[in-house]
């Protein structure tokens, strides 16, 4: 009996020792897994809202390598609890019956341990859903000495945008001050206010292209939004906060990075007050009133990855105090308002002004004032939050010719590159460029008319050239543009020019090889 007791005690000691060893191994393996998870360049992503663990906090670990964030888990539990009418999930008899069924071999019945959901009761599974984690290296703080000066920003814009000297100067100074404002915050206890801008210009003069070019040159996140689809909250369309959500997406969902970005709202003239209407203006004055807090600076809740708020979209709070807003619009018929204001004086007497004095004024938009924009349909509160108002010039014939050939990605250079792939050289005569510019001026759609005109007369050339391999050079003439003649086509020379005659231009494949 004593031997049995000794054996029994030894066996129990051994069992306790094995149990302690297994628990110790489990804890050690869990610690190692946690260390490997910290060193890993990947992190868990919520199975429902797709947010990473760095944004949601600690996640619930479910079977089959599924991770769910705290917010989505609570929403799911609340939804499930609404359908538990009979208290089946909380009835002990029902849960005991399910346990008995599972023991008898019924498949697909499995109960989850709450400790496992919290990530405390088991070893984390390495085969989990992963996403590349951003490097933990700290972002360098903006240094005043490394901020590009206004003349450098303008020089970069000059490579892509023709003309608009005043507009490029205003934008360069505003962006430079925005960099300094973000980098310093306050200087000698003086808080620097931001200077939002309103850009006015006819269609096709380069408003949107100017900002898109600026987006390629800057390191700060820049988002381009459209005001035509914005409506008041509660109506079909994009909410006003969607312009900030685009900036958040441009900043890779980094709130701190987005709070020092730039937002360009295009077609801002489409939210002007509707005149002579009795219906509710949900896409005009209401949108202007809703944008007041964004322009001035306030903390707004922004949907992440969506245009409107709903129950299943996570929200992020962004402070717009350091976000620079640039608004642009064509403002059609604004010239008539300016002309009416300029000709208010009496048309009789010695100082009388003729009614048609400003009819042939090309750059009438440069004389725009706050009163003109207010009369157009923008409310005074909205205009007051855009202290810098400037206008872009309409494109002249000389500027059209420069747009065709001078920028880095000019339209002519694009077609020359296309034909160069077929080993054909494309050239344009100077009088042909003038003819294209004259036709574009007649359409009154700005630089957008240039591409449509070139597409028309380049259609036959792009269609016929691949047929004949002997074509080596095509010259576009004014007669071809006007429809009275054809392009000059040069056939490839079968003989390679001798090196003693370098002044003779080489035509054919050898020219492209050089």
- Residue 390 — pLDDT band, cuts 50, 70, 90? very high
C-alpha 173/C-alpha 179 separation (Å) is: 10
- Residue 423 — pLDDT band, cuts 50, 70, 90? confident
Nearest CA among 267, 300, 259 for reference residue 283: 267
E strand intervals along 85-178: 130-132
Ramachandran region of residue 44, left (φ > 0), alpha (ψ -120 to 50) or beta? Answer: beta
Distance set, CA 237 to CA 45, 148, 234, 293, 305 (Å): 29, 39, 9, 20, 16
Q: Is the pLDDT of residue 270 over 80?
A: yes
pLDDT the model gives residue 88:
56
pLDDT digits (tens, 9 = 90+) for 61-99: 888 778 888 888 888 877 776 655 455 555 666 666 656
Burial of 426 from C-beta contacts in 10 A (0-12 / 13-18 / 19+): buried
C-alpha 48/C-alpha 44 separation (Å) is: 12
pLDDT the model gives residue 116:
47
pLDDT the model gives residue 136:
46
pLDDT digits (tens, 9 = 90+) for 17-38: 555 455 555 455 545 555 555 5
| Separation of CA 215 from chain center | 9
C-alpha 215/C-alpha 148 separation (Å) is: 14
pLDDT digits (tens, 9 = 90+) for 282-293: 888 889 999 998
E strand intervals along 7-133: 42-44, 60-62, 66-68, 130-132
Q: How many CA atoms lie within 13 A of 428 on its CB side?
A: 21
* C-beta neighbour count of 13 within 10 angstroms: 10
Q: What are the helix (H) ranges across 298-447?
A: 334-342, 370-376, 380-384, 397-405, 411-420, 430-443
C-alpha 432/C-alpha 397 separation (Å) is: 13
**What average pLDDT score do residues 332-337 get?**
88
Scanning the structure block, which residue is given the tokens 């059209």? 400
Q: If you count DSSP H runs as helices and E runs as strands, how many of each does the chain have, helices first?
A: 21, 16
Which stretch of 66-80, 345-359, 464-478 has the lowest confidence by average pLDDT?
345-359
pLDDT the model gives residue 213:
87
Nearest CA among 279, 220, 231, 281 for reference residue 254: 220
């Amino acid at each position: 009996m004593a031997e049995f007791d000794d054996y029994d005690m030894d066996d129990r000691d051994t069992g306790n020792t094995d149990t302690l060893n297994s628990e110790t191994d489990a804890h050690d393996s869990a610690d190692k897994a946690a260390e490997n998870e910290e060193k890993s360049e990947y992190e868990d992503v919520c199975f429902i809202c797709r947010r990473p663990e760095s944004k949601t906090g600690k996640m619930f670990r479910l079977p089959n390598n599924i991770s769910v964030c705290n917010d989505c888990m609570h929403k799911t539990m609340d939804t499930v609890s609404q359908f538990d009418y009979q208290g089946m999930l909380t009835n002990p008899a029902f849960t005991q019956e399910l346990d008995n069924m599972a023991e008898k071999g019924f498949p697909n019945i499995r109960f989850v341990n709450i400790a496992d959901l919290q990530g405390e009761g088991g070893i984390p599974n390495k085969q989990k859903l992963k996403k590349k984690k951003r490097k933990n290296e700290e972002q360098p703080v903006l240094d005043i000495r490394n901020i590009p000066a206004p003349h450098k920003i303008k020089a970069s814009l000059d490579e892509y945008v023709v003309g608009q000297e005043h507009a490029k100067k205003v934008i360069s100074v505003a962006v430079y001050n925005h960099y300094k404002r973000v980098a310093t915050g306050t200087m000698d206890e003086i808080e620097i206010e931001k200077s939002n801008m309103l850009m006015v210009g006819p269609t096709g003069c380069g408003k949107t292209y100017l900002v898109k070019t600026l987006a390629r040159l800057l390191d700060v996140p820049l988002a381009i939004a459209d005001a035509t689809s914005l409506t008041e909250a509660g109506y079909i369309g994009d909410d006003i906060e969607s312009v900030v959500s685009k900036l958040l997406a441009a900043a890779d969902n980094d709130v701190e990075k987005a709070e020092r970005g730039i937002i360009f709202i295009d077609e801002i003239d489409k939210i002007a007050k509707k005149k002579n209407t009795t219906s509710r203006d949900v896409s005009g004055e209401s949108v202007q009133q809703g944008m007041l807090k964004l322009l001035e600076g306030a903390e707004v809740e922004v949907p992440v990855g969506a245009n409107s708020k709903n129950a299943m979209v996570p929200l992020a709070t962004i402070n717009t105090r350091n976000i620079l807003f640039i608004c642009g619009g064509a403002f059609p018929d604004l010239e008539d308002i300016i002309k009416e204001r300029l000709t208010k004086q009496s048309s009789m007497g010695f100082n009388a002004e003729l009614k048609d004095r400003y009819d042939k004024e090309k750059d009438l938009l440069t004389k725009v004032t706050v009163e003109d924009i207010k009369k157009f349909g923008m409310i005074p509160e909205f205009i007051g939050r855009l202290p810098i108002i400037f206008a872009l010039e309409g494109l002249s014939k000389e500027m059209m010719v420069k747009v065709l050939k001078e920028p880095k990605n000019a339209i002519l250079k694009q077609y020359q590159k296309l034909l160069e792939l077929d080993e054909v050289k494309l050239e344009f005569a100077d009088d042909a460029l003038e003819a294209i510019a004259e036709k574009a001026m007649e359409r009154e759609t700005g630089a957008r008319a240039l591409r449509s005109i070139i597409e028309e007369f380049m259609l036959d050339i792009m269609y016929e050239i691949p047929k004949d391999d002997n074509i080596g050079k095509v010259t576009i003439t004014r007669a071809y543009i006007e429809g009275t003649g054809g392009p000059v086509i040069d056939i490839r020379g079968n003989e390679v020019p001798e090196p003693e005659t370098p002044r003779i231009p080489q035509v054919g494949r050898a020219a492209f090889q050089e």
